[in-house]
Amino acid sequence: MLPALESGGVEQGTLEVAEALVAAGHESVVVSAGGRLVQRLERDGSRHVTWDIGRKHPATLFGVRRFRRWLGDERPAILHVRSRMPAWVCWLAWRAMPGNARPRFVTTVHGLYSPGRYSAIMTRGERVIVVSDTARDYVESNYLHTDTARVVRIHRGVDRRRFQRDFHASAEWLAGWRRHFPECDGKALAVLPGRLTRLKGHGDLIDAMELLRHSHPNALGVVVGGVDPRHRRYADELRRRGRTIVFTGHRTDLREIMSIATAVLSLSRKPESFGRTTLEALSLGTPVVGYDHGGVGEILAGVYPDGRVPVGDTGAVAAKLAAIIDDPAAARGAVRDHDFDVERMCTETLALYAELARPDAR
C-alpha cells in the first residue's frame, strides 16, 4: 500500500519486492492511486488496484469500511504499508477485523517524518521495517512506546545488474546527450539529482559552483529533476541564479548521467532516512559529495568517507569538488565496495513475510 506509483525510492523499493514475490511464486498486489510505474509493475507480474487512499484529507478515512470489505474478499497473508495516510486507512480497517481473519500488518519507516500522532502510525506494525540505522534511531528516539523487538532493520539496496563499476553509457546515448546538452561537453559535471523543491539543496549547489567558477572554469553543475507544480516560483528563482547550472528537467536516464559525472551531490539540509541515489552513484564508481547526516552520511561513512562535508558548508562542498576535479581517477579509486544490494533486501523482506505468515506465528 502506497500513495502512488510515479517515481521515487519508496516506489522503486515497492516494485523490487513485488518482482521478488512473483519470482518466488507468490501473488503480489499493489494498491495505489496509479502513475507511470504501473505498467512496469504489471509487466513484471503483479496486479495493481487503483485506489486513492494516500490523499491527506479527512475524507480519505471514509474509505476504511470499504477497504475492510476488500481485505475480507482478498484475504492477503501480509498487508505491507509504506506511507502514513494509507497506513491510517489500513490500520483502522485491519483492527476492526476478527483476529483470525486479519492479514499480518507490516509497516516500513522510509522517512524521518515530523514526530507526532499522525506519523506514529508507521510504528504500529506487527513488524516495523526501518531502512537504515538512522531510521532505527529515529523510531527508538521519538516513539518510546515501540517494542524494539518488533523493529527490523532491512537496508535498502541497488540493483547490481544495473549499477556496476564497469557500466558505460552507450554511444547512442552519448550522442543524444551531447545533442540535447552541448554545453556539458568536455566539462567536469557535478550532478545533483532531485525535483526542484527547497529540501534538495539546489541553492547550496549554486553557491558551491559560484565558488568554483574562477578556479575551475570547466566545472558545471547539472540538476536532474522535474519541477514540482507547487514550487514553480522557487524553480524560476533557481534558474535566474544558476549561471553555472544546467537544468535537465525530469529524466529517466539518471544512471547514464551519473556514470559520466565527475561527482554526484547530496545536499539536502534535512536528513534522509537512506539515500538511494547516493548509493547508486557510488555503485557506478562515481564519487559523491554529501552532507554528513542521516542515511547519506551513514552510506558515505562506509563507502566513500572522503565525500562527507558538514551540513550547510558550501565552501567545503566546493573544496571537495575541486579535489575530485583535479584528480578524478584517485577519487574514483577511493570508492569502496559495499553490500547494499536489492537481492539481499528482497531476501530479508520475504523471509520476514514468511516468518509472520506461519500458522504458529500469531
pLDDT tens for each residue of 295-329: 999 999 999 999 999 999 999 999 999 999 999 99
Q: What is the pTM of this model?
A: 0.86
Reduced to 3 states (helix: H, G, I; strand: E, B; else coil), residue 341 is strand
Element (DSSP H or E) covering residue 252: none
Distance CA 292, CA 285 (A): 19
Distance CA 28, CA 49 (A): 11
Q: Say if residues 85 and 66 touch (Cβ distance below 8 Å).
A: no
pLDDT tens for each residue of 47-76: 999 999 888 888 888 889 999 999 999 999
Signed CA dihedral, 14, 16, 19, 24: sign only:
negative
Q: Please determine, for residue 96, whether its predicted confidence score (pLDDT) is greater than 90.
A: yes
Q: Which residues contact 297 (CB under 8 A, 6 or more apart)?
A: 134, 271, 290, 291, 308
Q: Please determine, for residue 139, whether its predicted confidence score (pLDDT) is greater than 80.
A: yes
Reduced to 3 states (helix: H, G, I; strand: E, B; else coil), residue 175 is helix
Per-state percent for the chain, helix, strand, coil, to nearest 5: 50, 15, 35
List residues bridging with 32 in a β-sheet: 50
Signed CA dihedral, 328, 249, 86, 39: sign only:
negative
C-alpha cell at 291: 552532507
